Chain A
Amino acid sequence: MAFVSSGYNPDKPMEDRISDIGPRKYDEFYPEVIKKNKGKWLYHEILEPGILVHVAESGDKVYTVRAGGARLMSTSMIEEICDIADKHCDGKVRFTTRNNIEFMVDSEDKVAPLKQDLASRKFAGGSYKFPVGGTGAGITNIVHTQGWIHCHTPATDASGPVKATMDVLFDDFQNMRLPAHLRVSLACCLNMCGAVHCSDIAILGYHRKPPLLDHEYLDKMCEIPLAIAACPTAAIKPSKVDFKGTEVKSVAVKNERCMFCGNCYTMCPSMPLADREGDGIVIMAGGKVSNRITAPKFSKVVVAFIPNEAPRWPKTTEVIKNMVEAYAENANKYERLGEWAERIGWERFFDVCELDFTHHLIDDFRDPAYYTWRQTSQFKF
């Protein structure tokens, strides 16, 4: 391969430079029916799982076919999406916040061929490329982070556990039998690049061993004061260490104060936390972001630790599936998972979801902890 220049001249980086132009303007990419009726929509209806119709004041209708997809996506897949959009949707397509792909058409007769086309496309390995679903009182696509495919801090993979979980929850992606919609999210470490802390069910990667200390390189790789300042529990202090007969500047960690957040590693590459036995998954539940009926809520930790069981994380998916089934069976119509748990009481939630309660689930981090203990004589046996 020979280097092919784009026209950029490294000796004169400012020559013809174009910068600060921002993203492309959204309305260049609107389908015609959207352009015409924007701001004038009257109502919508879900015709069947994955298929919506929106009706405008003008009488125009836009039919949306929503397909799930892996957010980790090759250009081959994007080109295939383009082929479908060119064939059915006048060359326009949209992605949702939750990594779904939305194909829009302007008349009902175009829906069936589009749906059929999407359903017929499969990977060589057998999975669907464009499963239609993800609407209404069901489970839509999982928002997630990078994981082992491209990140330096994860405590679990992202794409793998997501694939394994969505396989287990697939029926609910294509059905709307739940009391309300149920959002699942995954963050592969506590940094949480995504809103998993407010999801009905959250899968969170977590470390359980304090950082290793690479004394030989620590002072060369890191600003020691920054590493110390990074620790939220003040577990790190400066230390002089004997390294093979030479005294080197490094740090010492009070292990019993470590809560394994990994913030030190973010500031200092010589303090890695990753470990096969130490790392795994925390399951959180009962969060939401909508203001509907009740205020938005944080998810609560309901399982303190599940080991990383690559490639299919069977215990993780089993716990999630059980929770979804208990919710489906017991919650009232319109009740989100967290609202249901609050109505029946969390003690009953652990009961019906067949989850063990351990001391790890009682908050002991700063002031908010107190407000999560029970300050009433009301409880259920």
Chain B
Amino acid sequence: MAKHETPLLDQLESGPWPSFVSDLKQEAEKRAKNEKGLDLQIPVDVVEDLLGILELSYKHGKTHWKHGGIVGVFGYGGGVIGRYCDQPEMFPGVAHFHTIRVAQPAGKFYSTEYLRQLCNLWDFRGSGITNMHGSTGDIILIGTTTPQLEEVFYEMSHNMNQDLGGSGSNLRTPADCIGQARCEYACYDTQAICHDLTVEYQDELHRPAFPYKFKFKFDGCPNCCVASIARSDMSFIGTWKDDIRIDAEAVKAYVGGEIKSNGGAHAGRDWGAFDIQKEVVGLCPTGCMKYENGTLSINNKECTRCMHCINVMPRALRIGNDRGCSILVGAKAPILDGAQMGSLLVPFVEVNPEDEYQAIKDVIESIWDWWMEEGKNRERLGELIKRQGFQRLLEAVGIEAMPQHVQEPRSNPYIFWKEDEVEGGWERDIDEFRKDHKR
């Protein structure tokens, strides 16, 4: 029988969508049975108590978790988030219930061998409860006690060749889309650069030295499947400079209805016959496409690479060959001064594994230098850019201003001219002035 009654949570077991309550209950039973005969290192009824405290929150309409304490592993300032419940007498199993962030492999591919190893470790030294995955991308191990933290880290680093992820004012674990591993739209190898930068910047990831958190995310194309433009301080979005490749025969096949448009994504409703004029040419945001006499043409110079036509006709239209990425900076959620989308800083840079992405690392490191020098405590990069101005960012990174940097030029003329930009400088003599202009 269950340790705690959970009449409210029980109502979340019905319905078709996978029930986390049912899952927690099966895990609680598994621990009670302990068929593997493990010498469980944290209380056997930890999941029962987790259900119990969650039920209490459902009853009270409030959380029962306290502020985190300072816990972690030796030499790291991140990767572990302290967590204690505020009803330890009622729920002793979760009195200490710390989170461990585990750096996920780029692309989130796994072998079952690896996952089983992780499960065994977490059954033995933790609650057996995880997030696959946390919002930033890490594997999250939810719930263990302080004495187990070093033990989990030791086993992970020695037996699994696996490190912790980021938390606090440091580089958070970078994340990427599936990219070239299984997507024809990817303009660069997101996994390769995501992994390279994660390894290169391990010190920044484990030892908080920044004003606040800092996130990298890698989207292989402007479809932005990992939402880098909305939620990463530096967003790397794949793009290309040359022409969209057109397969004229395949265009005919789409027009003739032999190939389903948009990869079959609209198959749940009868939208009528595919109309290339209306659905592709007519929806092109720049109006740079034409379909005349059975031929599709694109004025590539005017194309802004929004991906719509490619998404609709993936077999006829393909990304260009001269590929790289755009870098956008400063995205963040609303806390504190309002949400920010990433702003375009570098329109195009090659993504070159041959020189270990040096051009990109140069941009990253000059941004960090500026932000660490000028950023206030708990000020995200986007907020610093807003406070000091986009011009200061350009100076810090050494990039010349160009029209691509703005949606439109400023509508106020309040230009902060610098003295060295003005002929003769600002030093003037009032007596000289008065010779021609009486008081």
Contacts and interface: CB of A to CB of B under 8 A. Distances in A.
Nearest to A177: B268
B11 A72 contact: no
A16 to B, nearest CB: 8
B412 interface: no
B378 to A, nearest CB: 8
Contacts of B268: 49, 136-138, 175-178
Interface string A176-191: 1110010000010011
B234 interface: no
Contacts of A68: 17-18
Interface stretch (A86-94, A108-116, A236-244, A346-354): A86-94
B335 A310 contact: no
B132 A127 contact: no
B61 A167 contact: no
Given A20-B206, A41-B182, A170 B128 contact: no
B271 A160 contact: no
Contacts of A279: 61-62
B61 A74 contact: no
A296 B105 CA distance: 28
B158 A150 contact: no
Interface string A1-37: 1111111101001101111111111111111001000
A156 to B, nearest CB: 9
B323 to A, nearest CB: 11
Given A93-B110, A148-B57, A333-B271, A19 B206 contact: yes
B151 interface: yes
B135 A193 contact: yes
A290 B307 contact: yes
A292 B224 CA distance: 9
A76 interface: yes
B4 interface: no
Contacts of A152: 63, 65-68, 83
Contact of B229 (A70, A192, A296): A296
A252 interface: no
A74 B135 CA distance: 17
B106 to A, nearest CB: 4
Contact of A126 (B13, B180, B199): B13
Given A24-B161, A136-B264, A192-B335, A290 B19 contact: no
B211 interface: no
Contacts of A8: 150-151, 153-154
A86 B181 contact: no
Given A136-B264, A311-B58, A170 B12 contact: no
B182 A197 contact: no
B315 A76 contact: no
Contacts of B296: none
Secondary structure of the A contact surface, majority rule: loop
Of listed B58, B116, B130, B268, residue having the most chain A CB within 10 A: B268
A10 B306 CA distance: 55
A63 B178 CA distance: 15
Contact of A24 (B76, B99, B114, B231): B114
A326 interface: no
Contact of A29 (B63, B114, B198): B114
Interface string B34-60: 000001110010010010001001111
Nearest to A64: B182
Contacts of B263: 43-46, 52, 136
A325 interface: no
Interface string A208-251: 00000000000000000000011010000000000000000000
A124 to B, nearest CB: 6
A310 B10 CA distance: 11
Given A127-B18, A152-B67, A81 B109 contact: no
A125 B19 contact: yes
B182 A34 contact: yes
A316 interface: no
A22 B111 contact: no
Contacts of A269: 66-67
Contacts of A148: 54, 57-58, 62-65
Interface string A137-161: 1100001111111111110010110
B264 A151 contact: no
Of listed B150, B203, B307, residue having the most chain A CB within 10 A: B150
B246 interface: no
Nearest to B267: A176
A261 interface: yes
9 contacts: A54-B182, A74-B27, A93-B112, A123-B23, A135-B265, A163-B21, A198-B341, A276-B61, A291-B237
Interface of A: 1-8, 10, 13-14, 16-31, 34, 38-39, 41-49, 52, 54, 62, 64, 68-79, 81-82, 85-86, 91-97, 99, 101, 104, 123-131, 135-138, 143-154, 157, 159-160, 163-164, 166-167, 170, 173, 175-178, 181, 187, 190-198, 229-230, 232, 261, 263, 269, 274-276, 279, 287, 289-294, 296, 298, 308, 310-312, 333-334, 365-366, 368
Given A93-B112, A138-B268, 13 more contacts: A2-B39, A17-B75, A41-B183, A43-B263, A45-B260, A97-B175, A127-B18, A164-B12, A192-B333, A291-B223, A296-B224, A296-B229, A333-B271
